[in-house]
Structure 1
Amino acid sequence: MKIKAIRVHETGGPEVLRHEEIDLPEPAAGEVRVRNRAIGLNFVETYFRSGLYPAKLPAILGSEAAGVVEAVGRGVMNLKPGDRVAYNSAGAYAEATNVPAARALPLPAGVGDEEAAALLLKGATAEYLLFRTFRVEKGQTILWHAAAGGVGLIATQWAKHIGATVIGTVGSDDKAAIARAHGCDHVINYRKENVAARVAEITGGRKVPVVYDGVGKDTFLASLDCLAPRGLLVSFGNASGPVTGVDLGILAAKGSLYVTRPTLATYAASPEDYAAIGAHVFDVVAKGAVRIEVKQRYSLADAAQAHRDLEARKTTGATVLVP
């Protein structure tokens, strides 16, 4: 069948995103075809577009979407045509996508298509970071960079629900207000304030046991300076560029610190872990402890502009592409 999709034939800036007609085959054994109703926009997709992360070209970008199952391949028993699902799988920037049935999770009735498309990847990222990479507990104080971003808004609400004290960093006063409304007890505008000094002030000099850093190069050293002795820096993204050329001796000098560079792909590699993470995400949203607000909508054909705005940090919260 013929569908429209966003494809990359060579790596580069947003201009390499092409809105093209392609042939989508019938779903293979173990796959389902999902008619996408809403597609999530995530920073990781800019890494594949730019070439920071390798991809076999030409490639259809996209990491998550929500829609309706149109057809099922041989051997699929858990899903049928008409089922509403959300999925985390490559190739989501399209009107329809064939995905492994194990990566398509049934949607609760109370979760809308746009909400689900904006939720699964970012919510699953928040889940594995808060509960698996470092298990945040009631009474702890944590620092989250880019607290007004898509993952940040989910994670800070969730951490507050757990009972943690949440410090968030943002780049503007408008984003500071958004972060406060989504669980941050303290917000630091990094354009106006010294992040490490403010963290020390907020914590009475104790600093924090964990820093969640999806920004990368620009915040790496400041993140280390915010950690208590034997603290953990969770570097899970490269919004400002990758961290390179690190002398491990700096970890000793700053207090026997730990650094990890985790990925959702590793933590959700097994179908069982993926399903458990997804169920936890849907449950906390269903309970109302975490709210998902879609702040920006672009047509699928305007994916390039969506990437420009995302990289320029003009977006807040969740963004979706609509086929």
Structure 2
Amino acid sequence: MQDTLITEKKTTATTMRAAVITTPKTVEVQTIALPEPEAGQVRLKLEGCGLCASNIPVWEGREWFSYPVEAGNPGHEGWGVVEAVGEGVDNVKVGDRVAALSYHSYAEFDVADADKVVKLPAALAGKPFPGEPLGCAMNIFKRSDISEGQTVAILGIGFLGALLVQLAKHAGARVIAISKREFSLDMAKECGADEVIAMDDHYQIIQKVSDLTNGNFCDRVIECTGKEWPLNLSGELTKERGKLIIAGFHQDGMRQVNVQLWNWRGLDVINAHERDPQEYIKGIRAAVEAVEKGIINPEPLYTHTYTLENIQEAFDNLTNRPDGFVKALITYN
């Protein structure tokens, strides 16, 4: 641990530890200067940061990335305690526990704009809260327009898919979960899915969903995989005038999609990713309320925890997905 002295207002330390991806598939823990909050910013003493599947390309390496990556990047799912505030900050104070939308959170400290942090209530004390992915689930659910009595198929049951199963069931929908791993299907059942189908044979899946819906298919289909085949499969499973929601992060180039089918069925195709940071913050606030009220329960989905020192193993497991792996957290306490 670093040599720090915490006062009521701020630490007297001048350095911190942070993960640096130096080359593809190589990460080092380095000692770097402690960031100082500017006007309108806060510095957080992080308790932890979620590991996101969107990190995989920068971890594996792509021609459009340059290395070394900035220290702490691409960690963006941090939570912790406000440890110092910049000039003009009045919405949070030192000592507040918050979830943050910041981008260098594979580190002991990070800086965030004060309007991009969300206070965590006492009811969540001591509990991990990777705000960005929880908020993302809430925003996708909102965009999906799910209501009681609908049939909803969710493709890809990882952290996001499992949360969406919980939200859809709470809304009163019938949920069909489709995923590759047997473990994921079991998890979907625990989250309340009414039916589970292995994501294996394209045409058998279509037939099974047809049988389950009397040939009508699904009012809503949410694709969470970020892959081309499941995206096209999702179109096949959406009923006429239904809504196909793209929740997967399609980050590895172009996709060929069956626009003829989408057109013929008159589908509403919704790209549910938000880009306005304030929309993310709204989602995080909604997630705080949903967890506090028991509408969603993310804790069983936090299956793996790592320290900063073994973050290389965390990235390896994120990429290889060992059995039972859903959501990994990097913790700093």
TM-score range, shorter chain: 0.7 to 0.9
Once the two structures are superposed, the pairs formed by residues 153-172 of structure 1 within 5 Å of their partners are: 153-172=162-181
Q: Report the secondary structure of 1:219's partner residue.
A: helix
Structure 1, unpaired ranges of 5+: none
Match of 1:140 in 2: 150
8 Å Cα contact 2:219-2:242 kept in structure 1: yes
Once the two structures are superposed, the pairs formed by residues 101-180 of structure 1 within 5 Å of their partners are: 101-117=114-130, 120-131=131-142, 133-147=143-157, 149-180=158-189
| Cα separation, 2, equivalents of 1:195 and 1:175 | 16
Rate the CA distance shift 1:190–1:128 in 2: closer, same or farther, 3 A: same
Rate the CA distance shift 1:245–1:154 in 2: closer, same or farther, 3 A: closer
Superposition deviation, residue 54 in structure 1: 6.5
1:225 aligned onto 2:233: no
- Provide the alpha-carbon RMSD of the alignment: 2.4
8 Å Cα contact 2:152-2:218 kept in structure 1: yes
| Cα separation, 1, equivalents of 2:221 and 2:116 | 29
1:301 aligned onto 2:276: no
| Cα separation, 1, equivalents of 2:328 and 2:16 | 22
8 Å Cα contact 2:232-2:258 kept in structure 1: no
Structure 2, unpaired ranges of 5+: 1-13
8 Å Cα contact 2:135-2:285 kept in structure 1: no
Partner of residue 200 from structure 1, selected from 171, 186, 210: 210
Partner of residue 76 from structure 1, selected from 65, 89, 92: 89
Q: Report the secondary structure of 2:233's partner residue.
A: helix
Match of 2:290 in 1: 284
Name the aligned partner's letter for residue 266 of structure 2: S
Match of 1:236 in 2: 247
| Cα separation, 2, equivalents of 1:230 and 1:191 | 26
TM-score after normalising by structure 2: 0.85
8 Å Cα contact 2:139-2:272 kept in structure 1: no
Name the aligned partner's letter for residue 4 of structure 1: R
TM-score after normalising by structure 1: 0.87
8 Å Cα contact 1:217-1:238 kept in structure 2: no
Superposition deviation, residue 29 in structure 1: 0.8
Partner of residue 266 from structure 2, selected from 253, 256, 273: 256
Once the two structures are superposed, the pairs formed by residues 86-105 of structure 1 within 5 Å of their partners are: 86-105=99-118
Superposition deviation, residue 52 in structure 1: 6.4
Rate the CA distance shift 1:247–1:159 in 2: closer, same or farther, 3 A: closer
Identity %: 26
| Cα separation, 1, equivalents of 2:96 and 2:140 | 30
